[in-house]
Chains A and B, each alone.
Chain A
Amino acid sequence: MTVLEVRALYKGFGGVQAVAGIDFDVAAGELLAMIGPNGAGKSTCFNILNGQLRPDGGSVRLAGREIAGLPPGHISRLGVGRTFQITATFGSMTVAENVQTALIAHHRDLAGLWRPAASLHRAAAMALLERVGMAAQADRACGVLAYGDLKRVELAVALANDPMLLLMDEPTAGMAPAERVELMALTAEITRERNIAVLFTEHDMDVVFGHADRIIVLNRGALIASGTPQEVRANRRVRELYLGESVEAER
């Protein structure tokens, strides 16, 4: 089942076409990696999908519904979870409260003025934390966690709105190699058991080729290749793009 359907997406900044007509799909339970050199248009594409940018043209459909140009909060409520390249959590709350806040937002209980929030959705939050291996630290302040743990909390927060699509911007940036593999294995496990579609960008090729089901390759705003890791690895244009450039650089 196709969860995300992107068609003929365009976005320009001044004279630069950052995204110049991109099409791709992500299916439920699938991990799709979006790669490409710096300036290929990955971030722009991502920010259109999560609602921070409005595209100049094209369509973004989530489960058949057009979401291009909607504000981030609205897109979130339609079932999109996100993690950020630099983790974004609530520092004045505990780990559990971070997840609880996301759950409260998801259940639209935010306007409550009287009942303490600490008791709301606590069990569900603990279950999510259990799933990402952070239950033992549930009552610690988010501000004092190790970076790898923070990434796990973010994953739990991103799962709180029961998303059908998870957008992960450089999920393993800033982590040690061993931690990267662990986090991606955990992500793959969880998203498969919940049948969530995942789109992630990543610079670490080991992570990409080790965990993605499919890969799309962007260069200068255009899609130059897509397919399974094997297909992409064998693709001549991709090899030129990556190897060619590195050869250039070495000269």
Chain B
Amino acid sequence: MTGQIVVQFLTGLAGAASLFLVAAGLSIIFGVTRIVNFAHGSLYMLGAYIAYSLTERLAVGTIYGFWVSVVLAALAVALIGAAIEIAILRRIYRAPELFQLLATFGVVLVVQDAALWIWGPVDLMGPRAPGLDSSVEIMGQRLPEYDLALIVISPLVLGLLWLLFYRTRWGILVRAATQDREMVGALGRNQAWLFTSVFFVGAFLAGLGGAIQLPKGGADLLIDLNIIAAAFVIVVVGGMGSITGAFLAAILIGELQAFAVLLLPESTLVIMFLAMAVVLVVRPWGLLGRPVAEHAAGRAAEPLLRPPGRTQRMIWGAVIACLLTLPLIAEDFTLTLSIEIMILALFAASLHFIMGPGGMVSFGHAAYFGLGAYGAALLATKLDTPMELALLAAPAIAGAGALVFGWFCVRLSGVYLAMLTLAFAQIAWSVVFQWYELTGGEDGLLGIRRTPWADSRIVFYYLVLAACGVAIYAMRRMIFAPFGYAVRAGRDSRLRAEAIGIDTRRFEWMAFLIAGAMAGIAGGLYVYSKGSVFPDEMSIPRSVDGLVMVLLGGVQTLSGPLFGAAGFTWLHDAISRLEYWRFILGGTIIGLVLAFPEGLGGIWRQLEDWVRRRRAVARQAKP
């Protein structure tokens, strides 16, 4: 028994190694550049793939060849990281933080398809590490020798990082930039160089993490998002920008997972995110983190939010008229696509509701979409609930989830809040994924039929139009009603809002609830439009889809997210039958972010400004 515990403990330590490396890189990059690098998981994946190719070519079976391959792979990834920084991120440091996030997600998509193209879709088995390919016996239990190597590597890297940060000039600069970025700029240091080098080091750690886990886990196309979720958890638990924190958190999570496997194998995914939620509520800035000054100078002043003017109302009238007459002229295919667009427009609008006026960025909004979808689907399949009732229950179920998760989330702010939303979404996702008896796991729930009266595509189209239209209109009313002003007041200046008697946290919580319920409506409708539901509907990519729609549409405008949803869904549909559609989508996102750092909705405003200037010039020209 003791032997089992000891060996399990060592397994946990070994598992913590690559988690620590990835998280440390993510943490360093965030500390200096304030970029939440979604592509960090992709760098890890590249590390694994490149190491695989190198070990195949370089002196197979020699100890020397293996470790040289690992280090070379990490260096290659470091160069790729630096190239990404130079080619993409450097151009958008002045853009809103979330656009940088979006760009990094574009990189995720591009890298996914690049890896698919180069290494193919088959999961690759990693080679055994030469010299460490058997196991040792500890207190009657067997432990792979390679685990011992992993256990040694993380403290070694921690030590090297410590030397790098505390014994070199570069390290001093990085630490200074982590604490006060503007100050470093004021010192006249070459920021561009600093940022690139930080990306180099961060990417090196990610690549190393991917390479060293190759003998244990191999390489496949899903590890990028799996590891990024885990890395977020570790960075947040450890404290943003704290390497030692990441080290402790990696061990904590590694051990929790190692022992969870023994006690309750289904709980491994949930336990990691639960640990994060608990730590964040007790220590909102992580184990060793410090509060990040959110409202420090440099946060762009929010533009004035005005109710729609006459032109805008006329455009909306025209859009609604088009939507109403569409079934008369359109084919089935167009109607199906339009139904999906309207549902996702509601989803995007609900995300915008908390992100825009609420100022709370959610990385996990798909949780509420998925709760609504699974709520309706379970009622329909397990309890034979009629469609009408299931559609009404969807927002209630999603709202209940938002009420519980939101209670925790509104206690944090900024990037910590965003990460916690992601954690909750992953909890919901892993419950759905692992609770096979109830949800069918990966196989999903199938055969959900519409009520006979709504069976025809045209009737369902009008039902979706009415439901989404009313829900979106209701949210707009709320934004311009006192409730919306209270929420916005808390976003603009919490200090002032509290001083005039607004309980900002309560209003944030209510906004969370409303946004969750609205996403639930969208989820319910989605289930009845497809007739099925799969865990994908609440996975990270679905949450990111929402972010892409809102951000591309323009978070500062109200209609932007709707157009963003339409454009994104249309593009997604148009290219999803191509083999390398992710590459196209990712490339498009990166291109759009570089071209329109204000979002597509910003084009409208730029156009308005242009017209106004032209008119002013014309007026002056007249005598």
Contacts and interface: CB of A to CB of B under 8 A. Distances in A.
A binds B: yes
Contact of A116 (B480, B495, B507): B480
Given A89-B496, A114-B481, A143 B304 contact: yes
- What class of interface size applies to chain B in its complex with A? 20 to 34
A101 B485 contact: yes
Contact of B499 (A82, A114, A115): A82
Interface in A141-171: 141, 143, 157-158, 160-161
Nearest to B302: A92
Most B CB within 10 A of own CB, among A84, A91, A141: A91
A117 B493 contact: no
Given A111-B483, A161-B500, A88 B302 contact: no
A92 B488 contact: yes
A136 interface: no
B304 A101 contact: no
A186 B301 CA distance: 28
Given A73-B502, A90-B488, A113 B302 contact: no
B480 A102 contact: no
Contacts of A120: 482
Contact of A76 (B303, B484, B500): B500
Nearest to B483: A113
Contacts of B480: 116-118
A91 B301 contact: yes
B253 to A, nearest CB: 34
Main secondary structure on B side of the interface with A: helix
Contact of A105 (B304, B307, B474, B486): B486
A114 B502 contact: no
B500 A116 contact: no
A93 B482 CA distance: 13
B499 A88 contact: yes
A109 B482 contact: yes
A94 interface: yes
A106 B477 CA distance: 21
A89 B481 contact: no
Contacts of A161: 500-501
Interface in A69-116: 71-74, 76-77, 81-82, 84, 88-94, 97, 100-102, 104-106, 109-116
B276 to A, nearest CB: 28
A76 B477 contact: no
B500 A143 contact: no
Interface in B138-184: none
B483 A112 contact: yes
Contacts of A116: 307, 477, 480-481
Nearest to B295: A88
Contacts, number: 115
B485 A93 contact: yes
A112 B492 CA distance: 19
B478 A113 contact: yes
Contacts of A88: 493, 495-496, 499
A117 B482 contact: yes
A91 B304 CA distance: 7
Interface string B486-521: 101101110111111111000100000000000000
B502 A110 contact: yes
Nearest to B494: A88
Given A50-B499, A76-B499, A110-B502, A91 B302 contact: yes
Contacts of B499: 50, 72, 76, 81-82, 84, 88, 158
A110 B492 contact: no
A112 B485 CA distance: 10
A143 B498 contact: no
Interface string A3-22: 00000000000000000000
Nearest to A74: B501
A112 B507 CA distance: 12
A8 B496 CA distance: 28
Most A CB within 10 A of own CB, among B486, B498, B500, B503: B500
Given A93-B304, A117-B482, A77 B501 contact: yes
B337 interface: no
B273 to A, nearest CB: 31
B500 A101 contact: yes
Most B CB within 10 A of own CB, among A50, A77, A110: A110
B605 to A, nearest CB: 14
Given A88-B493, A117-B485, A110 B500 contact: no
Contacts of A105: 486, 489, 500-502
Most A CB within 10 A of own CB, among B482, B491, B498: B482
A112 B501 contact: no
Nearest to B507: A110
A110 B488 contact: no
Contacts of A115: 481-482
A50 B474 CA distance: 36
Contact of B483 (A76, A110, A118, A141): A110
B183 to A, nearest CB: 19
A88 to B, nearest CB: 4
A90 B500 CA distance: 12
A141 B306 CA distance: 10
B307 A101 contact: no
A109 B460 CA distance: 38
Nearest to A121: B482
Contacts of A143: 301-304
Contacts of B501: 73-74, 76-77, 105-106, 161
Given A91-B302, A106-B500, A143-B301, 7 more contacts: A82-B499, A88-B495, A92-B491, A97-B485, A114-B478, A115-B482, A117-B484
14 contacts: A50-B499, A72-B499, A74-B501, A89-B493, A90-B492, A92-B302, A92-B303, A104-B486, A110-B485, A110-B502, A112-B481, A116-B481, A117-B485, A118-B307
Interface of A: 50, 71-74, 76-77, 81-82, 84, 88-94, 97, 100-102, 104-106, 109-118, 120, 141, 143, 157-158, 160-161
Closest CB pairs A-B (n = 6) = A92-B302, A88-B496, A76-B501, A90-B492, A112-B482, A143-B301
